[in-house]
Structure 1
Amino acid sequence: MKEKINVDFLIKEFNLKPLNECKESFIERPSINRAGLLLAGAYVDETLTKNIVGWGTNESKFLLSLSQKDRKEALHRVIGANPPLLMLSVGFEKELFNEILEISNFYMVPTVSSEEHLSTLIANIGGYLSEYFAKKTAIHGSAIIVNGVGVLITGASGVGKSEAVLELIQDGHTFVSDDTVIISRLGNRFIGKPSPITQDLLEVRGIGIIDIRHTYGSSMIRTKLDIDLVLELIPFENNNNFDRIGNNELYYHILDGKIKKIQIPVKQGRTISSLVVAAVNSYLVKQDGLDPIEKIQERIKNKNGK
């Protein structure tokens, strides 16, 4: 089924003030359309029936510059296209509200006002809609924030992902998801969220399902993260050709993009959580432009030069 958002949900989520009561309506596109060209008399964009229309100071000034006849025609042109929601920001002139509502009620278009500026509404609501409508995929893995870095931990079932996450939580790092991570892409950002079914829950073999929020507190939980690094846990085998010195560029390919990846060999007796923290810290050091391999090469060069 195609993604869509109920307008009533969005109104409550962003504390918008309803100005009328209309039939149930749904948003089907992520953008907020200011419909400026339509107000000025351009053709009606068919996608307007799926987009929020947002108006602020500039739109109200333009409407007030028109004669009452032309203004009514402009409003009928846009509102008559039946957008799922008409949103009036704090800068929109209140003296126009009655004219707006008369036409909105005629076409049964939900209309709201806000105490926020239109630029703020576009950033907040537009960002939310972009993330909601972004292409998504479900990954078998765990997500946790370690030293401020969003980490996706992957690996075969039984390799020790959940046990490592539990140790990391006990060490003060922040839990996001276990077992299933829903990933969406926004430009070069990869956002991970828990599955609604397993949110806040961590399954550990021999212990069972742990409710992290109630066991460790709400401060140890986040509902999403930006995935900066993928750590792949791989059972240690003698025939595995692991990157011993960490100079290979590995990537996790997903949603037509890629995320930096580090492979961690796992064997009995190794503390996986400590290796995860070490991998994250190594990643941070390289992000700061410090490369241990380059340092070794420089030392060899200096030694040979003496």
Structure 2
Amino acid sequence: MARKVKLVSHITVGHFFETHGESLKLEPINSSDGFNRKINEPSLNRPGLALAGYIDHFAYMRVQVLGNSEVEFLNKIDSEIRRERIRTICKTDIPCIVISRDARVHQDMLDICEEFRISLFRTPLNTMRFINSATFHLEHDFAPTTTAHGCMLDFRGIGVLIKGKSGSGKSETAIGLVERGGALIADDHVKIRNVNGKLTAFTDDFSRGFIEMRGIGIINVTNIYGLGSIRPDATLDIIVNLRPYSDLNEVDRVGITRETDKVLGVDVPIVDIPVAPGRDTARLVAVTALDLQLRRLGYDMAAEFNNRLSEKLANTTPPSPFTTHY
């Protein structure tokens, strides 16, 4: 199924600070003139070699992080060499510089960053903790995303995307799963991102917890079912298509083989469930989710039945064509 994919080529330093500054405990220590600079890669770099004079292969497109080693090195070298080395890396169009462990920033660093309009931040986090946390945030910022029309829920740890034509009963099924202990992630407009091969579904903050019910209107799921009835995101584990009952003959009845749908390059299992008056669709989707959970634990109900049937046929002696029956 073709989907429009959004790829992120860069984010600005200002966006990085506004979005993640609080969790990373970033404190700006110069002007905001460099907030328009671009971060072009989701990785970070420690410029120790560049500050020592080796500038070849310098990862200038990344956020530069100075820990205790880099700061102490700059404090101990000759002042003229220090200014030259700092100016050299600043000339390469780096996005910004972060000083970890609340280390004291040398005046030369402040002056040269102001000269080149490069944002300088300080954080109390130790160097590796900051790098790990910032990398996690940047990977989410740069992750390719797409959208899907449907209802996304987490049911007992399985992320289920319910799809179907308008009026097929997606919202009613979603509410039925919420009443069985599920949590609503998104209704109608589901966003999906791929971070290192893992698909995560979410929605915009303003619409989280709301769902449209035909004949009733927009309802706030949290107000009716409590805080446990919603979640900000969930892993996309399976797609359930609600299909008209007239398509019954086209639907797999055994479940030995599972079709998949490729979402952002990742194969996601897909199951078709016929919808008809009187069928408890929410219960069928719940059973589908629990079946997937069992498969992940190594137990395949359809495969077990198929093996039993094969053993039964293998152990059954066919009647002789010369046997006379009276």
Whether contact under 8 Å (2:24, 2:123) holds in the other structure is no
* Displacement after TM superposition at 1:200 (Å): 2.4
Q: Tell me the SS of whatever aligns to 1:87.
A: strand
* Aligned position for 2:43: 31
In structure 1, which of residues 236, 243, 247 is the aligned counterpart of residue 252 of structure 2?
243
* Aligned position for 2:230: 221
Answering whether residue 292 of structure 2 is matched by residue 274 of structure 1, we say no
* Aligned position for 2:94: 83
TM-score when normalising by structure 2: 0.82
* Displacement after TM superposition at 1:278 (Å): 0.4
In structure 2, which of residues 1, 11, 31 is the aligned counterpart of residue 4 of structure 1?
11
In structure 1, which of residues 68, 74, 94 is the aligned counterpart of residue 85 of structure 2?
74
Quote the Cα distance in structure 1 between the aligned partners of 2:133 and 2:297: 30
TM-score when normalising by structure 1: 0.87
Quote the Cα distance in structure 1 between the aligned partners of 2:222 and 2:108: 49
Give the AA of the match of 1:108. R
In structure 1, which of residues 47, 51, 55 is the aligned counterpart of residue 66 of structure 2?
55
* Aligned position for 1:201: 210
Q: Closer, same or farther in 2 for the Cα pair 1:263/1:118, shift >3 Å?
A: farther
Give the AA of the match of 1:81. T
Q: Closer, same or farther in 2 for the Cα pair 1:150/1:58, shift >3 Å?
A: farther
Q: Give 5+ residue unaligned stretches, structure 2.
A: 1-7, 317-326
Alignment of 1:43-192 (within 5 A): 43=55, 48=60, 51-64=62-75, 66-90=77-101, 94-192=103-201
Whether contact under 8 Å (2:39, 2:63) holds in the other structure is no
Quote the Cα distance in structure 1 between the aligned partners of 2:108 and 2:222: 49
Quote the Cα distance in structure 1 between the aligned partners of 2:275 and 2:263: 24
Answering whether residue 27 of structure 2 is matched by residue 20 of structure 1, we say no
Quote the Cα distance in structure 2 between the aligned partners of 1:51 and 1:277: 45
Whether contact under 8 Å (2:50, 2:58) holds in the other structure is no
Whether contact under 8 Å (2:159, 2:235) holds in the other structure is yes
Q: Give 5+ residue unaligned stretches, structure 1.
A: none
After the TM superposition, which of the residue ranges 185-194 and 18-27 deviates more from structure 2?
18-27
After the TM superposition, which of the residue ranges 262-271 and 5-14 deviates more from structure 2?
5-14
Quote the Cα distance in structure 2 between the aligned partners of 1:129 and 1:84: 13
* Aligned position for 2:324: none
* Displacement after TM superposition at 1:251 (Å): 0.7
| 1:8-39 residue CA offsets vs partner (Å, 9 max, x unmatched) | 40323533122222225144432223234432
Q: Closer, same or farther in 2 for the Cα pair 1:170/1:123, shift >3 Å?
A: same
* Aligned position for 2:319: none
After the TM superposition, which of the residue ranges 113-122 and 177-186 deviates more from structure 2?
113-122
Whether contact under 8 Å (1:7, 1:84) holds in the other structure is no
After the TM superposition, which of the residue ranges 267-276 and 207-216 deviates more from structure 2?
207-216
After the TM superposition, which of the residue ranges 75-84 and 202-211 deviates more from structure 2?
75-84
Whether contact under 8 Å (1:84, 1:109) holds in the other structure is yes
Whether contact under 8 Å (1:230, 1:260) holds in the other structure is yes
* Aligned position for 2:322: none
After the TM superposition, which of the residue ranges 226-235 and 279-288 deviates more from structure 2?
226-235
